[in-house]
Structure formats: structure tokens, C-alpha cells
């Protein structure tokens, strides 16, 4: 257990679970053809990031990646609210995925937006279910690096995790 100088004790495992979005986005983006450069979580702040070389060209697949991250954030926020019982003190941790979803939808003709959003949710769900083992491998490696202050996995190691050989 890590003790924060500014508050109650922080469980590092809870912090990694607290920001599932980077792990989820990395796995879905890779499964849909993106070149994932890195994934990281700052265990002191709970902030995370997934870096890809470029945006996925297919609008629906790109939407699926954002939806996966957004759903991960919502799932955590719901858990956080149930655990804390301080509803007024909490907001959705990240609006970045939601804002990206809105931008992507606005690029489409209005009559196609609802169908695209539904397909983005379906694609996110199917891709995550098919790649749950990869999410766990990435989470395990990030957790193993939690004491470095910035748990980060670079492209070469990610390639091994995506391939299933567990390189670390």
C-alpha cells in the first residue's frame, strides 16, 4: 500500500484499476489496426495515456476505440460513486473520450450518427471480449511496474503482449 502525503493511504492496485481507459484503448486500437506506441498510467495521480502512431482511418472503428475508453471510464466512475457514497464530490473522471466521440459523430451526416454510435458500442464490446486476455496481460505488466511512479509499456513490449508471448 502506498501512502499519499496529501491524504489517506492509496492502494496501487486500485489506482491501476482506477484508470482502465488506457489499457482498454490500447487493446481495442491494436485489434482494429492501429500502431500502438505506448500505454502508461501514473500511479500517483491515476492519469493515463495511450499513444498511437496515427488515427484509425475507418470512422466507425475509430469511434469504437473511443467508446471503449468512455465505457471503461463510466464503469470506474460508477464503482467509485458506489464506494465513496459522496455523489456530490465526484464527476466523470475524463471527458476526453466523450468529446472525441462527439467530434467523430459530428463528422458524419446527421442521419448516420445514431447507427454509427450503436455500431461503435457493438464494436467496442466485441473487440474487448475477444481480447480480454490482452487487457489482463497489459494490466499485469503495468501493475508490476507500479513502484516506478509511471507505469509505462513501450511498443516492443506491447507487441509481445499483443502477440500473447508475454514478453516483459
At residue 13, does pLDDT exceed 50?
no
Domains of the chain: residue spans and CATH: 2-163 (1.20.58)
Please compute the mean of the pLDDT values over residues 69-95 and round it to a whole number. Answer: 59
166 pLDDT higher than 60: no
pLDDT at 21: 72
pLDDT in tens, 84-132: 544 444 444 456 788 889 999 999 999 999 999 999 999 988 998 888 8
Q: Which long-range contacts (CB under 8 A, 24 or more apart) does 164-168 make?
A: 164/133, 164/134, 164/137, 166/137, 168/141, 168/144
CA 51: distance to chain centroid?
11
Task: Report pLDDT for 144.
Answer: 84
Neighbours of 45 (CB within 10 A): 12
**36-42: strand order across its sheet:** 48-52, 36-42, 150-154
Across 12-33, average pLDDT: 67
- The residue among 47, 46, 24, 44 whose CA lies nearest residue 36 is 24
Tens of pLDDT, residue by residue over 50-62, are 888 877 888 898 8
**pLDDT grade for 70, boundaries at 50, 70 and 90:** confident
Amino acid at each position: 500500500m502506498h501512502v499519499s502525503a496529501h491524504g489517506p493511504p492509496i492502494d496501487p492496485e486500485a489506482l491501476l484499476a482506477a484508470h482502465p481507459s488506457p489499457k482498454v484503448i490500447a487493446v481495442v486500437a491494436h485489434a482494429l489496426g492501429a500502431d500502438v506506441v505506448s500505454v502508461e498510467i501514473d500511479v500517483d495521480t491515476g492519469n493515463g495515456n495511450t499513444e498511437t502512431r496515427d488515427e484509425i482511418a475507418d470512422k466507425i472503428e475509430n469511434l469504437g476505440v473511443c467508446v471503449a475508453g468512455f465505457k471503461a471510464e463510466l464503469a470506474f466512475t460508477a464503482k467509485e460513486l458506489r464506494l465513496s457514497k459522496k455523489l456530490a464530490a465526484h464527476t466523470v473522471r475524463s471527458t476526453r473520450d466523450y468529446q472525441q466521440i462527439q467530434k467523430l459523430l459530428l463528422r458524419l451526416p446527421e442521419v448516420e450518427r445514431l447507427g454509427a454510435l450503436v455500431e461503435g458500442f457493438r464494436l467496442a464490446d466485441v473487440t474487448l471480449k475477444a481480447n480480454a486476455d490482452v487487457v489482463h496481460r497489459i494490466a499485469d505488466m503495468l501493475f508490476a511496474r507500479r513502484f516506478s511512479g509511471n507505469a509505462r509499456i513501450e511498443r516492443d513490449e506491447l507487441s509481445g503482449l499483443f502477440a500473447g508471448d508475454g514478453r516483459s
